Chains A and B, each alone.
Chain A
Amino acid sequence: MAERLKPVDVVTVGVGLTGAIMAKELAAAGLKVVGLERGPRRDTSPDFQSPTIHDELRFAVRKALMQDNVKETLTFRNSSDQTALPLRRWQGFLPGTGTGGAAVHWNGQTYRFQPVDFVYKTHIEKRYGKNFVDPEITIQDWGVTYDELERHYDRFEYLCGTSGKAGNINGKIQPGGNPFEGQRSREYPTPPMKETQYGALFRNGAEKLGYKAYPQPASTLSQPYTNPEGLTLQQCVFCGFCERFACEHYAKASPQTVILPAALKNPNYELRSNCQVLRVNLDSTGKKATGVTYVDGAGREFEQPAELVLITAFALNNVRLLLNSGIGKPYDPRSGIGTVGRNYAYQTVSSVTVFYDQDTRINPFMASGSSGTVIDEFSGDNFDHTKLGFIGGAYVGAIMTNGRPIEFHPTPPGTPTWGLEWKKAVARHYNHTVVLTVHGMSHPTRTNYLDLDPTYKDAWGMPLLRLTFDFPENDLRMSKYVTDKTVEIGQAMGGKTVVGAPRKGPYTSTIYQTTHNTGGAVMGSDPTTSAVNKYLQSWDVPNVFVVGASAFQHNGTYNPTDTVGALTYWAVEAIKSQYLKSPGPLVRT
């Protein structure tokens, strides 16, 4: 029997980036906020200190910071005619857990989406006509514009102290930045990170071909910085243990370093860790949330009543919670009807490997999560697709993050997969190889979706989320095109051997390809094809907001976090300035 706790104003499910930002803002507005985090409480000191944290086997290979599959995972299949089976170990993507969530072990790559991303359907139809796109692809406009989000992007970047060079300030193109970017109101809060050897080699090759190389925007900072919350971040030391690890130096933007201490200072905010939320509770009308039910670390069940429920648990968990709570109509791919679970998307990544001879030392272990040199000529719709037969694009760059040997030991084609010649090839090529990244869009389709698994359950007895996903042909054509262009850059970089490896189908959960899971509770202006409105408020239960990459109608060219941060500030501003004054639907239809 669940113990009923004293009611609070707000409960957040999850204390990662979105949950921490919203909690801080609403507690500061005078509300009583409880943050329920299913994982443990962790802090930079002592939990993230090196050398302990610099353990590739434990953190990168065994994934010690990630969600523990013993208790909870999800099931996966490529298409509806297959039986989904549990991801018994994480390989393809790595959901986080614990305070800070995935923003503890991300790389810090901080890109805004492009203005056309938010009006993607309108833009594509206008440029290429209504019949250009493959019929299986279900792109839509997002219901919000880049201009509406610009100051929230700015706010998030200044929260993180992001290091970069602006390319377009109020319409004026800036030398050294990305000339294709949407306009921003001011420069980045800190200057770009130092350029590494591989960044310089890439710049050299790309500029030979006439491309405009610019520094990757980085939330692993180039210098010490105190953010508007009064928290100070330090200078990144290029240790090469960034993604899958936590930062020992306070140099990576994560909730612990940029916002959580500020939230915790406010007695209005209470953080409860090791609390697994099972469902959002609804009243008898089904249109109002009364709070949530959760189980704590000792197995005790509680009901936490709240006026406002913020689902801030990472895209995948957000969708699962909606489904397990009966909020919104589950999407059915056969009929195309339903809102929760539709428009799941991912990321279409590939690589090009450039092998040098012994004269060129790369020192790949001197790396940061987000230092890098990139070009934008092939991102999104920056190039004319009329004769190409696909939409979408990818950014390209030298953004190597590490030289950790269990994961990184490149060998040229033709090398045996083990044995003496393999070993000699590893020794020969380890310090003389650059890997270029091609980081591309992921378009939603009618058949890629999320729902609840009928068979498999978690340790609490709740159904697991079921993922049905494969790459649309469009995205594979896009990958081939941009990868081929990247091979040309590799050749211009002076590599002895250049190997392009475009993404090929089917999508496999066994090879890591980013943790950029998006969609499933998408935002939009049409309640029949979106789960939340433009303010990320549930169409069905107005006192529930669903905040995260679950809101993305598609996944753009770039990493999601900057856009997640912007949408979080956008949503919490709407709550503070509109919802609290007049609770109820913010968008009338």
Chain B
Amino acid sequence: MTKLSRRSLIKASAPVGAALLSGSLSDVAAQAETTAHTHTAQLQAGAPPAASTGSREANASYLFLNSEEAAFIEASVARLIPADEKWGGAIEAGVPNFIDKQLGGAWGAGERLYRGGPWQQGSATQGYQLPFTPAELFRTAIAAINGELKAATPFARMSTVDQDAYLHGLEAGGKDLGGVPSKEFFAALWEITLEGFFSDPVYGGNRDMLAWQMIGFPGAYASYYDLVDQHGMDFQHVPTSLAEDVHRHVHVHPEIPARLPE
């Protein structure tokens, strides 16, 4: 059961265009400030912030994913990590935004990937051997999926039962998605969803650190010498992002290189 939100209303009403998703800047600023101050007040009261219901969805304008790709990504990550009565899931955490910014940035373009040929499929023990960069992999595979489902029901319009069955099918492998083995694509989709859910909010996912709150991971600041021998202590701690300032605003910078400057 998906939480009712601006996003789901937009989705239900019309084909989604990138412009509809962006919202107005003043909206965003007002919401951002509200969220930050709420966070601060709760911090001072000693309680963790409530799970986000996606109050800042409006600022997720897609730079890489086109509307059909975005529709598939949103619908699939919503099944991979769904919301439940207690905690938001991938949508609430902003995972589609994370995926968009990763694929549209240096990582998607092939940072840290050895791209020399010749290319051949090896054994499973030899790892990834396709020439596709992550951006190319997703683009190619999703186009094949959307193409295949065009005649029937697009993925985003399937029932959740059918969506799960389709994803299990991809996971099991055996399908060729424009040159991308479906098992390979599913693994990449799952991995990037996991990253978008659990990474630092600086990258645009894990919004309001909801995933960290769910498991009790305290985040980027970590100094435990005095606590580590209090075995089994109940460590109540509002998680911190590496990108938050002294007022607890998280400044999102989704394009961070996977290398140190030289």
Which chain B positions have C-beta within 8 A of A55?
200, 202, 220, 242, 256
Q: A51-B220, A197-B231 are in contact. Are A89 and B127 (CB under 8 A)?
A: yes
> Is B199's beta carbon under 8 Å from chain A?
yes
CB <8 Å contact, A430 and B260: no
Residues of A within 8 A of B257 (CB): 64
**Does the CB pair A42–B260 fall under 8 Å?**
yes
Q: Could you tell me the distance between the alpha carbons of A430 and B235 in the complex, rounded to whole angstroms?
A: 14
Whether A98 pairs with B260 at a CB distance below 8 angstroms is yes
Q: Is B164 an interface residue (CB 8 A)?
A: yes
Bound CA span A73–B167, Å? 33
- Whether, in the assembled complex, B150 has its beta carbon less than 8 Å from a beta carbon of chain A, the answer is no
Taking CB atoms, residues of chain A closer than 8 Å to B125 are 76, 78, 506-510
* Interfacial chain B residues near A61, Cβ < 8 Å: 195, 199
A86 and B240 alpha carbons, distance in the complex (Å):
38
Q: Smallest CB–CB gap between B35 and chain A, Å?
A: 20
Residues of B within 8 A of A145 (CB): none
Task: Give A contacts to B, CB under 8 Å.
Answer: 39-40, 42, 47, 50-52, 54-58, 61-65, 68-70, 73, 76-78, 82-89, 91, 98, 194-197, 200, 235-241, 274, 297, 360-363, 365-367, 371, 403-406, 409, 417-420, 422-424, 426-427, 430-431, 455-457, 506-510
Smallest CB separation, B95 vs chain A (Å): 12
Q: Which residues of A contact B89 (CB under 8 A)?
A: 423
Closest residue of chain A to B190, judged by CB?
A418
Name the segment of B21-29, B109-117, B137-145 touching the other chain. Answer: B109-117
Residues of A with C-beta under 8 A to B113:
69-70, 88-89
Q: Which of B3-11, B60-68, B80-88, B173-181 has 4 or more CB atoms under 8 Å from chain A?
A: B80-88
Q: Which residues of B have CB within 8 Å of A422?
A: 81
Q: Is the CB of A419 within 8 A of B199?
A: no
Which of B12-20, B39-47, B208-216 contacts its partner?
B208-216
Q: How far is the CA of A457 from the CA of B118 in the complex (A)?
A: 11
State which of B128, B203, B211, B241 has its C-beta within 8 Å of the C-beta of A57: B203
Q: Is B217's CB under 8 angstroms from A365's CB?
A: yes
With A and B bound together, what is the CA distance between A69 and B114 in angstroms?
Answer: 5
Tell me the complex Cα distance, A196–B227, Å: 10
| Contact between B222 and A409, CB atoms less than 8 A apart | no
Once bound together, how far apart are the Cα atoms of A422 and B262, in whole Å?
A: 41
Q: How far is the CB of A200 from chain B (nearest CB, A)?
A: 6
**Residue of B whose beta carbon sits closest to that of A74:** B114
Contact present for A427 and B87 (CB under 8 Å): yes
**B234 smallest CB distance to A (angstroms):** 6
CB proximity of B111 to chain A, nearest CB, Å: 7
List 5 tightest A-B contacts by C-beta distance, closest first: A62-B258, A51-B242, A239-B222, A508-B125, A405-B198
Task: Report yes or no: B127 in contact with A235, Cβ–Cβ below 8 A.
Answer: no
Residue of B nearest to A406 (CB): B198
Task: Tell whether, in the assembled complex, residue A456 and residue B217 are in contact, meaning their CB atoms are under 8 Å apart.
Answer: no
B199→A56 contact, CB < 8 A: yes
Residue of A nearest to B130 (CB): A88
The secondary structure that dominates the B interface is loop
The verdict on B194 contacting chain A, using a C-beta distance below 8 Å, is yes
Chain B residues with CB below 8 A from A195, complex form: 229
Query: Which listed residue, A40, A236, A366, touches B260 by the CB 8 Å rule?
Result: A40
Q: Is B246 an interface residue (CB 8 A)?
A: no
Contact A419 B79 (CB under 8 A): yes
Q: Is there an interface contact between B84 and A423, defined as CB atoms closer than 8 Å?
A: yes
Among B123, B195, B259, contact of A64 (Cβ-Cβ < 8 Å): B259
A87 to B113, CA, bound (A): 9
Does B225 lie within 8 Å of A235, measured CB to CB?
Answer: yes
Select the residue from B115, B120, B228 with max chain A CB neighbours within 10 A. Answer: B228
Set of chain B residues within 8 Å of A404, measured between Cβ atoms:
217
- With both beta carbons as reference points, the residue of chain A lying nearest to B84 in the complex is identified as A420
Q: Is A239 a contact of B122 with CB atoms below 8 Å?
A: no
B152 interfacial by beta-carbon distance below 8 Å: no
Q: Number of B interface residues, CB 8 Å?
A: 69
Minimum distance in angstroms from A274 CB to a CB of chain B: 6
Q: Chain A nearest CB: distance from B102 CB in Å? A: 9
Within 8 A of A (CB), among B120-179: 120, 122-129, 164, 167, 171
A78 near B164 (CB under 8 angstroms)?
Answer: no
Complex Cα spacing A40 to B260, Å: 9
How far apart sit A430 and B240, CA to CA, in the bound complex (Å)? 18
> Given A63-B112, A240-B222, do A68 and B259 touch, yes or no (CB 8 Å)?
yes
Chain B contact residues, CB within 8 Å of chain A: 79-82, 84, 87, 89, 107, 110-116, 118, 120, 122-129, 164, 167, 171, 190, 194-195, 198-200, 202-203, 211-212, 214-225, 227-229, 231-235, 240-243, 256-262
A91 to B240, CA, bound (A): 28
Check if A82 sits within 8 Å of B116, measured CB to CB. Answer: no
- Contact call B231/A65, Cβ cutoff below 8 A: no
Known: A51-B221, A63-B112. A76 touches B234 (CB 8 A): no
Q: Which residues of B contact A457 (CB under 8 A)?
A: 116
Taking the closest CB of chain B, its distance from the CB of A128, in whole angstroms, is 32
Contact present for A417 and B107 (CB under 8 Å): no
Contact A40 B256 (CB under 8 A): no
Instruction: Report whether B224 and A40 are in contact in the complex, using a CB–CB cutoff of 8 Å.
Output: no
Given contacts A50-B220, A51-B242, A419-B80, 20 further A-B contacts (CB under 8 A): A40-B262, A50-B222, A54-B221, A57-B199, A64-B257, A69-B113, A78-B123, A83-B122, A87-B114, A194-B228, A365-B217, A371-B228, A406-B194, A406-B199, A418-B81, A423-B87, A426-B215, A430-B215, A430-B217, A455-B118
Query: Which of A239, A363, A455 has the most B CB atoms < 10 Å from its CB?
Result: A363
Q: How far is the CB of B235 from chain A (nearest CB, A)?
A: 6
Least distance between A350 CB and chain B CB atoms (Å): 17
- Contacts A274-B262, A427-B215 given; indicate if A89 touches B234 (C-beta within 8 A): no
Q: Can you name the residue of chain A whose Cβ is closest to the Cβ of B121?
A: A85
- Check A51 against B240 for contact (C-beta < 8 Å): yes
User: Most B CB atoms within 10 A — which of A55, A237, A241, A510?
Assistant: A55
**Beyond A57-B195, A236-B225, is A73–B114 a contact (Cβ under 8 Å)?**
yes
Give, as a whole number of angstroms, the nearest-CB distance from B191 to chain A: 9
In the complex, which residues of chain A have a beta carbon less than 8 angstroms from the beta carbon of B200? 55-57
Please determine whether A363 and B220 come into contact, CB atoms closer than 8 angstroms. no
Contact (Cβ within 8 A) B127 A87: yes
Q: Is the CB of B240 within 8 A of A403?
A: no
From B122, B202, B243, A82 is in contact (CB under 8 Å) with B122
Please state if A409 and B122 are interface contacts (CB–CB under 8 Å): no
Q: With the chains together, A88 CA to B114 CA distance in Å?
A: 4
- The residue in chain B whose Cβ has the minimal distance to the Cβ of A424 is B84
Q: Report chain B residues within 8 Å CB of A403.
A: 217
How far does the alpha carbon of A431 sit from the alpha carbon of B232 in the complex, in Å? Answer: 10
Neighbouring A residues of B127 by C-beta, 8 Å: 76, 85, 87-89, 91, 508-510
Shortest Cβ gap from B200 to chain A (Å) = 6
Q: How far is the CB of B209 from chain A (nearest CB, A)?
A: 11
In the complex, A525 Cα to B242 Cα: how many Å? 53
Q: Which residues of A contact B216 (CB under 8 A)?
A: 430-431
Contact across chains for A88 and B212 when beta carbons are under 8 A apart = no
Cβ distance A101 to chain B, nearest Cβ, rounded Å? 14
Say yes or no: A50-B221 contact (C-beta < 8 A), given A88-B114, A89-B112, A510-B125: yes
CA distance A78 to B125 in the complex (A): 8
Most buried by A among B87, B107, B127, B221: B127
B124 touching A361 by the CB < 8 A rule? Answer: no
- Cα separation A418 to B216 with both chains bound (whole Å): 20
Q: Which residues of chain B come closer than 8 Å to A85, judged between CB atoms?
A: 120, 122, 126-127, 129
* Distance from A328 Cβ to chain B, minimum over Cβ atoms (Å): 27
Interface centre among A61, A64, A240, A423 (most CB of B within 10 A): A423
Output the least CB separation between A122 and chain B (Å): 34
